[in-house]
Structure 1
């Protein structure tokens, strides 16, 4: 098995370094924002710039790759990541940061898309699970490691921002110097969100709510840790606990959803989310250890629920529709990530940091409640079409290729994703 992973070493090393810088950036930005005395609403606008750039990139980046190729676009995007974080250190103004964060969102989304496309073209049905499991672990380890760099510096000066830019730049080297064959030029296809909703309302609504939850946490979770008085080290541990909880729960949730109606698992995840968020609210003022445990419980359903919706949408699709379905789901998810911070920010400003989890409680209740209502409205899909297998994906869903891996059956003759062409590029 180790021999089959050799062609992916350079790409995974680039991913690891990029995620270290991304984890550092994701924590140092909210910590510095709070230190500047900006309100949660102001920080929300900065976060909105990031999520907007992230979503636009899902549509625009494939066009750039079509024009000049994967490597050139990847180098350009990672360069933009370095430039954007350096600009944040030079111009400390929330309006400018909104623009800089939009650039970051655009660049990180496109970088993910290229990496996942590249991996998808090189894997086979025999090593697909191994390679993407390693990819999931790489993104998690890198993100957590980057967050723990924040306590080693001072977010109120430029040192951590410069360090972040350096790591982004270094992440280019393994991929830029690799001798591995490049992915084939992409093709294009359309997506139709309205058609997707008519076919699977619960998948579309669930993807939007999953995006709102992940967007709210990824952009305001660091603000939450600062507002409740945690040190940067304690805050990094709490953020890491969410990621670890998510990583540990993906496989059990996926296995359960492969055996029963996925919507039943959605209802269960919604219930777990409601209970864990209420417990998180009740735990305010408790020891950091208690908060870490509660955060891991929230994380156990915060990120994996998106994969459930993608898998359910693919259950109702024909094999030649997977690209269209996954592209549409990514757009819906992206719109959700934009909406999440906009919903949460004003509430946190008015009612305090714990209200973050009050909004999450409502989102999880809507998520599980809508799935329960759809169960009563339509029978399970398993009796109508072949059911695809759930596949784990990065704890932060990022690219359409991840959704393909999460839903395509490995080695199944009648329901198999196309592995000869970059999936995300057919937007």
Structure 2
């Protein structure tokens, strides 16, 4: 199947994804900068930013009920309206309490939007196009989020313009979905494995997902504060954040391919060591100038973003095939819990050590993870490389994304035929995260 033919049925979803990520991507950056300019304490900033990941975690568990009750199109429009309205509410008054509430609400609604998009993608996936859909969805997410960062460099003397621009882009995301003629899909029935079962299957996998969440949550929340603290202006901060996110794209395939060929645990250990050492280099990077910082930022992003899918693949190597989708759902929730906690812990370190405390925190997480990973190398024999499952990059959004993995086809009974028409929405099964 030609690549363009594979994407044609879901083009409106990919356009909506691009608009959502381009509009929401720079929001966290500008909020961190505004709170830093207002001289709020770093722990307060961390708490406000962590609220988004808390909302995302709760939303990934609960928003399917709303989607099932009112339908995908209306739910998508409602969630988009709330995200847009809350974006426009920020500049009215800078106060950490309502801002934290707004961040939580936005995280909750973004989870609902991801549930809508990802269940539609699942419904459109076939044997021929499953890999292309997942790769395109991931590319749209990362690249739009990276490109959207440059919006913060627009001069804004009023303090409102940037939020208006983001609100406009976010509101436009509802247009292609509201005008689609796609049939409403069923939500996949996903029951996440318990934390205990996941840990029994792969202690390294569950520990790695938590570590990944701690690091990425801290970076998304506090990297703008770090950039402002070392003297970056808005344009330079946009470049810095964009470099980190774009770096997360470019290393996924080569590192993942390597993990298919050798003991995947060795690749995970290597990635964690590289992340810890890059964190140490980032502490000294400002002395090397902006170019050095951007290069190291891209390297750090590439290393940090690849750890989660590596840990998912490693966990799958120790599970029965019928457990793997449930495991992916449980692991994304584990990651989300880490991402909620990460900004709080990193903010405390930054409060004591200054801006460099962000990467001191990620370095500590990395070195602790190395110790745990080395212990696991000695505690269990490796899975032979020819018996390992195939690596696949995965979104860290909601459990509904799990069936997009190409190896999920047999588990969910997908066939190469066109997706069947769905029954009435009220008869749909709902996920049980």
Match of 1:111 in 2: 113
Match of 1:97 in 2: 99
Task: Report the counterpart of residue 342 of structure 1 in structure 2.
Answer: 344
Q: Which moved more, 1:112-121 or 1:97-106?
A: 112-121
Q: Is the 8 A contact 2:67 2:112 kept in 1?
A: no
Q: What does residue 423 of structure 2 align with?
A: none
Trace 1:161-172 onto structure 2 (pairs within 5 A): 161-172=163-174
Cα distance in 2 between the residues matched to 1:253 and 1:418: 30
TM alignment of 1:3-402, pairs within 5 A = 3-154=5-156, 157-187=159-189, 189-382=191-384, 386-394=387-395, 397-402=396-401
**Is the 2:210–2:337 contact (alpha carbons within 8 Å) kept by the matching residues of 1?**
yes
In structure 2, the residue corresponding to 1:409 is in which secondary structure? helix
Question: Hey, what's the Cα distance between the residues in 2 that align with 1:76 and 1:352?
Answer: 40
- Kept in 2, the 8 Å contact 1:28–1:155? The answer is no
CA separation in 1, counterparts of 2:80 and 2:154? Answer: 24
Q: CA-to-partner distance for each residue in 1:235-290, whole Å, 9 max, x for gaps?
A: 11111111121111000111111112221111000111112111111212321111
Structure 1 match to 2:431: 425
Query: How many angstroms apart in 2 are the aligned matches of 1:338 and 1:281?
Result: 23
**What CA distance in whole angstroms lies between the structure 2 residues aligned with 1:322 and 1:76?**
32
Contact 2:68 2:430 in 1 (8 A): no
CA contact 1:57–1:107 (8 Å) conserved in 2 = yes
Report if aligned partners of 1:389, 1:410 keep a CA contact under 8 Å in 2.
no
Offset at 1:156? 6.3
| Greater CA drift, 190-199 or 39-48 | 190-199
Q: Structure 1 residues 372 and 17, CA, compared in 2 at 3 Å: closer, same or farther?
A: same
- What TM-score do the two structures reach when normalised by structure 1? 0.92
Structure 1: which 5+ residue stretches go unaligned?
A: none
CA distance in 1 between counterparts of 2:377 and 2:412 reads 27
Corresponding residue SS for 1:225: helix
SS of 2:222's equivalent in the other structure is helix
SS at 1:180's partner residue?
Answer: coil
How far residue 409 of structure 1 moved from its aligned partner, in angstroms, is 2.8
- The Cα offsets for residues 317-370 of structure 1, whole Å up to 9 and x where unpaired, read as 223222321221122111101110111001111211011111111112222332
Paired residues of 2:43 and 2:348 also in contact (CA < 8 A):
yes
1:409 to 407, 410, 420: 407
Change (3 A) 1:409 1:72: same
Q: Distance in 2 between matches of 1:293 and 1:146?
A: 19
| Distance in 1, Cα, partners of 2:217 & 2:160 | 26
RMSD of aligned alpha carbons: 2.2
- Cα distance change, pair 130–352 in 1 and its aligned pair in 2 (3 A): same
Alpha-carbon distance in 2 for matches of 1:329, 1:155:
43
The separation in 2 between residues aligned to 1:306 and 1:424, in whole angstroms, is 26
SS at match of 1:37: coil
Distance 1:360 1:116, change over 3 A: same
- Alpha-carbon separation, structure 2, partners of 1:404 and 1:350: 43
TM-score normalised per structure 2 = 0.91
* Kept after mapping to 2: 8 A contact 1:57/1:110: yes
Cα distance in structure 1, aligned partners of 2:353 and 2:184: 51
Number of aligned residue pairs: 420
SS at the partner of 2:39?
Answer: coil
Q: Distance in 1 between matches of 2:277 and 2:400?
A: 32
Whole-angstrom CA distance in 2 between matches of 1:133 and 1:335: 25
- Aligned 8 A contact 2:251 2:303 in 1: yes
